[in-house]
């Protein structure tokens, strides 16, 4: 991983800084004084896991998305809260650690508002009790709190796997069976001092193999922060490559897509935490005018699609404590615009456009 001493801003920002210096009377004498100041101290960034260490991270995300297929549109607001427990089972002298990671709590609220499907109903099969019709249009909220699943249609509860009402319980149980098993998921991860992860064992659906070296906040990469081997100074940048094989519920075939994430050590101090550092994260993943095969997984069914265009940007910062060797907090914003084709059985292609804006925040509880 190569470290660059180039400034982490574009030409427009540089021009603005130069103009400010000129109009505020920055003379040659003050410039010489600035250049004579010593360079800021370098810092070596490493994860420093301690044996028997127990940590809990809370990951909160809110995502607003719009997808359109011809005259049908769907607007969704998704809120997710996940508590991850990290138990350091072993910590070797070379810095590699075996970490037992568990989902202690999982909660999601997915509110969808569909237009263009008014009057359409889906028949939800119930265990030994026929089926129950649920309208597709209007506003539907799906709530999952650990092992409880609820469905609310236009403000009225129509499904709850913990309900005493047999019909509502049947609808909730049917939905629960179609959803991934996230609460209670567990994984054994070998984590290096530089941030690289290898999954040895996994149980449940929360820890997917394709998250191992992702650029954004992900549980398997333990917040996605990668480090260079050499020390860095404020303003230094470094990069890490990654491969994307999933976009939400889409599985990208033919090797997936490759991207590059850029990190930068920021000069600004963290208030009341002088030992912490700020690491800026910047990532852009693009795919244009192509036809990449994909599989769309929904409610335990799979559909064929092809990716035409993709534009995904991710930016934010991570707070890291070099002395403790741990991520303390983070905040990232990810914006995605994707254009797909649904591949229908008769050979026709149905265009689909999806846009989303997601903000993710992470905090180390008890710190």
- How would residue 324 be classed by pLDDT, with cut points 50, 70 and 90? very high
Closest by CA to 318, choosing from 281, 357, 290, 355, is: 281
In this predicted model, which residue has the larger pLDDT, 363 or 23? 363
CB–CB of 339/33 below 8 Å? Answer: no
For residues 326-355, average pLDDT: 88
Query: What's the number of CA atoms in the CB half-sphere (13 Å) around residue 151?
Result: 22
User: Is 11 strand, coil or helix?
Assistant: helix
- How would residue 2 be classed by pLDDT, with cut points 50, 70 and 90? low
In this predicted model, which residue has the larger pLDDT, 322 or 257? 322
How, if at all, do strands 277-287 and 246-247 pair? unpaired
Residue 7 is predicted with a pLDDT of 39
Rg (CA), the chain: 24
Residue 288 is predicted with a pLDDT of 83
Distance separating alpha carbons of residues 335 and 356, to the nearest angstrom:
6
CATH code, 41-364: 2.30.230
- How would residue 270 be classed by pLDDT, with cut points 50, 70 and 90? very high
Task: Kindly report, residue by residue over 93-104, the tens digit of the pLDDT.
Answer: 888 999 998 999
Residue 87 is predicted with a pLDDT of 92
Closest by CA to 66, choosing from 120, 109, 108, 111, is: 111
Q: What is the DSSP string of 49-109?
A: --TT-EEEEEEEEEEEEEEEETTEEEEEEEEEEEEEEEEEEEE-TTS-EEEEEEEEEEEEE
DSSP bridge pairs for 66: 75, 355
Supply 88's token pair: 């350091």
Closest by CA to 334, choosing from 315, 362, 361, is: 315
User: Where are the chain's structural domains?
Assistant: 41-364
Provide the mean pLDDT of the chain: 78
Q: Is 285 exposed, middle or buried (0-12, 13-18, 19+ CB in 10 A)?
A: buried
Range from 46-55, 62-71, 81-90, 107-116 carrying the lowest mean pLDDT: 107-116
- How would residue 17 be classed by pLDDT, with cut points 50, 70 and 90? very low
Closest by CA to 5, choosing from 180, 264, 214, 212, is: 264
In this predicted model, which residue has the larger pLDDT, 301 or 91? 91
Q: Is the pLDDT of residue 168 over 60?
A: yes
What pTM was computed for the model?
A: 0.77
For residues 26-49, average pLDDT: 65
- How would residue 28 be classed by pLDDT, with cut points 50, 70 and 90? very low
How, if at all, do strands 186-191 and 292-298 pair? unpaired
In this predicted model, which residue has the larger pLDDT, 158 or 128? 158
């Amino acid at each position: 991983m190569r470290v660059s001493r180039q400034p982490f801003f574009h030409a427009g920002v540089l021009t603005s800084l130069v103009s400010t210096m000129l109009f505020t009377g920055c003379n040659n004498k003050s410039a010489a004084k600035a250049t004579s100041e010593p360079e800021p101290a370098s810092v070596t960034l490493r994860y420093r896991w301690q044996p028997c260490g127990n940590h809990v991270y809370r990951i909160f995300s809110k995502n607003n998305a719009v997808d359109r297929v011809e005259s049908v549109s769907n607007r969704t607001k998704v809120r997710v809260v996940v508590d991850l427990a990290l138990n350091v089972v072993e910590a070797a002298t070379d810095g590699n650690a075996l970490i037992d990671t568990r989902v202690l709590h999982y909660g999601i609220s997915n509110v969808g508002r569909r237009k263009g499907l008014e009057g359409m109903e889906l028949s939800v099969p119930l265990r030994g009790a026929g089926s129950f019709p649920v309208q597709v249009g209007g506003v539907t909220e799906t709530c999952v709190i650990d092992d409880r699943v609820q469905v609310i249609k236009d403000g009225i509860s129509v499904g709850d796997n913990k309900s005493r009402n047999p019909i509502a319980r049947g609808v909730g149980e049917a939905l629960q069976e179609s959803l991934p098993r996230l609460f209670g998921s567990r994984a054994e991860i070998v984590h290096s001092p530089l941030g690289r992860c290898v999954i040895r064992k996994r149980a449940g659906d929360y820890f997917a193999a394709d998250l191992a070296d992702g650029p954004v906040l992900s549980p398997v990469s333990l917040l996605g922060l990668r480090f260079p081997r050499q020390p860095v100074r404020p303003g230094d940048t470094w990069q890490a490559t990654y491969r994307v094989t999933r976009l939400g519920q889409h599985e990208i075939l033919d090797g997936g897509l490759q991207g590059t994430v850029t990190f930068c050590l920021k000069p600004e101090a963290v208030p009341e935490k002088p030992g912490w550092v700020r690491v800026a994260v910047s990532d852009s993943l693009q795919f244009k005018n192509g036809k990449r095969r994909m599989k769309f997984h929904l409610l335990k069914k799979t559909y064929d699609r092809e990716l035409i265009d993709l534009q995904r940007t991710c930016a934010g910062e991570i707070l890291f404590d070099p002395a403790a060797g741990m991520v303390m907090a983070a905040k990232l914003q990810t914006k995605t615009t994707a254009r797909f084709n649904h591949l229908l059985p008769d050979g026709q292609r149905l265009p689909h456009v999806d846009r989303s804006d997601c903000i993710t925040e992470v905090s180390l509880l008890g710190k």
